[in-house]
Amino acid sequence: MKERYISKWVGKILHIYDFTYRQNYYYIPAKNHKEYRDICKKQLNCVIEPKDTETGGGFNVYINNKTEVCYIWASCKRDLIHECFHAISYTLRGRGLKLTDESDEAFAYALGFLVDEILRNI
């Protein structure tokens, strides 16, 4: 039987799977956008376009082996949480949940899960 996991390192990429929302996330710890692009190219054969301005993090969605994956990179914890919020917002909106007073608890729990998985592994 294949082992199930929530998160595991694959080279320099932390793969996280959210069983609740059936969403894959890749966390790529990088100091800058160039390092993020280099890791994506080397490990995933994914070409990320350069940005005009340097930022402390980013969030994108790509298709990897016919599976939608949220890519998150950040150079510090503040930017990590910021980008994780974008990833969670994308995931939950894609499943019909909009951020409202009635749904904010689902967003908070999902964000807590993703940030916790990353922080436990770095």
pLDDT of 40-72, one tens digit each?
Answer: 999 999 898 887 777 789 999 998 888 999 999
Which own/partner pairs from 87-93 qualify as long-range (CB within 8 Å, at least 24 positions apart)? 87/25, 87/59, 87/114, 88/114, 90/59, 90/61, 91/18, 91/21, 91/23, 92/21
Q: Which residues contact 32 (CB under 8 A, 6 or more apart)?
A: 54, 75
Residue 2 has pLDDT above 70, yes or no: no
Determine the Cα–Cα distance for residues 99 and 6; give it in Å rounded to an integer. 25
DSSP-derived 3-state class of residue 92: helix
Q: What is the pTM of this model?
A: 0.91
For the chain, give every domain's residue range: 7-121
Determine the Cα–Cα distance for residues 111 and 16; give it in Å rounded to an integer. 13
Q: Which residues pair with 77 in a beta bridge?
A: none
Q: What is the pLDDT of residue 65?
A: 83
Q: How confident is the model at residue 93 (pLDDT cuts 50, 70, 90)?
A: very high
**Residue 21 token pair:** 């929302």
Residue 4 has pLDDT above 70, yes or no: no
Q: How confident is the model at residue 26 (pLDDT cuts 50, 70, 90)?
A: very high
